[in-house]
Every structure is written in structure tokens, then in C-alpha cells.
Chains A and B, each alone.
Chain A
Amino acid sequence: NAGVTQTPKFQVLKTGQSMTLQCAQDMNHEYMSWYRQDPGMGLRLIHYSVGAGITDQGEVPNGYNVSRSTTEDFPLRLLSAAPSQTSVYFCASSKKTSGRAYEQYFGPGTRLTVT
């Protein structure tokens, strides 16, 4: 049982490049989310999904796209990287909400630098 996995662990991009951060979980969790963590800012929600085919925006969605074609995978796409997107990105999953949120399991993170 690998839990939540993220690839790559580190990435350097040039401004304007695009890329996809991968996230997968093997716990059959229906709820998945992407956060970015910047120094002193805590964890800010980018996008989340309550099940395959259903996604919604979080607090800071601009510049990012997501899709959820399977329960296991929830990739995050950067359309045209900007230096402001330099951050640590965490993917998380939890059981489906049926009236309340459950504990979230976080992946190890992807450290992204945009030059």
C-alpha cells in the first residue's frame, strides 16, 4: 500500500513552459486535492475533486488545470509556468465526504522552481 505518490520530487522550469505534476493514490479515496505551500502562507487549495469526472476550484486556481478520469489519479497541469508558481506542491486524498471532511493523507510533495 503506497498511499499517495507524487512525481517528480523536484522540477525546474523556464518561464512559459508547461508541465504536469502527477498524483496517484491506492486507497480508493474519492476525494483528492492539490495544495501549494509557500513560506509563511500555509497550505492553499488549488483544485479539488470529489470523484472521477468531478473537479472544482480552490482558493488559488489561476494558471492551473486539473482533470480526474479515474479514482486513482489526479494530475495538475501548469499551462504556462511563471516565477510566481515557484512553490512546494502537495497532493492529498481522503475518503468521500458524506456530511463532513475526513483526515487527509498527503503525498511527499513536488518542489517546483520556475526561472
Chain B
Amino acid sequence: QQPVQSPQAVILREGEDAVINCSSSKALYSVHWYRQKHGEAPVFLMILLKGGEQKGHEKISASFNEKKQQSSLYLTASQLSYSGTYFCGTEDHRGSTLGRLYFGRGTQLTVWP
């Protein structure tokens, strides 16, 4: 039930754009995105809900295709501070397990000056 993230790693120059993808084999209720810097705890970025509501980060956007069980995270005009590992967490709609997240293996993003 672990979602699949792609690519595994991305290297960018400052100002370039990147897309990180997350897909699941299960019908999804929500998709969460987190960023983790080396040696630190993951930090919440964004939630995308079934039905289209989106809450999260002002400089990073995302989409959620419910029919394909996929989400994409868009980082535009990347900054050095964007470097880190990005994780998607998926929540499937199964009654008693609402709220339980399955995380992908992560995408390591490196931004160079």
C-alpha cells in the first residue's frame, strides 16, 4: 500500500522547475506532502483532498487526480532552501483507518547555486 514516488532524485540549478510524482494502487481520500531536511524531522507542506480542496504552501503547488490515484508536486523557480527529501503520504478511504498515512520512499531534491 506504500505509494510510489518518482523520480528518486532530482538535481536542479536555482531558478529551475521540478515535478515530483506520487501514485497509488488504492483509491485515495487525500494526499499529503512533506519535506525533510537532512538530520531533521519531516515538515508538512500540503494536503490535497478528494473533491479538490487544497491547503498548504504558498510557493509550491500540487495537483491530485482522483481517478488515476496520482498526485504531483510542482516546485517552480527553485531556491536553495527547497533542497531536501520530499515525501508523499496517502490516505485511503477505508472507514476505521481514516487518518492513517502510507508514505512513499521519498524524492531527494538538490538545488545548486
Q: Which residues of A are at the interface with B, using a C-beta cutoff of 8 A?
A: 31, 33, 35, 40-45, 48, 50, 56, 58-59, 90, 94, 97, 99-109
Partner of A101, one of B2, B40, B101, B105: B101
| Smallest Cβ-Cβ distance to A95: which chain B residue | B99
In the complex, chain A residues whose CB is within 8 Å of the CB of B42? 43, 90, 104, 106
B10 in the interface (beta carbon within 8 A): no
Q: Does B106 belong to the interface (CB within 8 Å)?
A: yes
B84 part of interface (Cβ distance < 8 Å): no
Interface residues of B (CB under 8 A from A): 1-2, 29-30, 32, 34, 40-44, 47, 49, 87, 89, 91, 97-106
From A31, A103, A106, B47 is in contact (CB under 8 Å) with A103
- Residue of A33, A43, A94 contacting most chain B CB atoms (<10 Å): A43
Known: A42-B106, A90-B41, A107-B41. A100 touches B100 (CB 8 A): no
Partner of B99, one of A50, A90, A107: A50
Asked whether B98 lies within 8 Å of A108 as measured between CB atoms, the reply is: no
Question: What are the residues of chain A within 8 A of B106 when measuring CB–CB?
Answer: 42
Name the CB-closest residue of B to A91.
Answer: B41
Contact A101:B43 (CB < 8 A) given known A41-B105, A44-B103, A58-B100: no
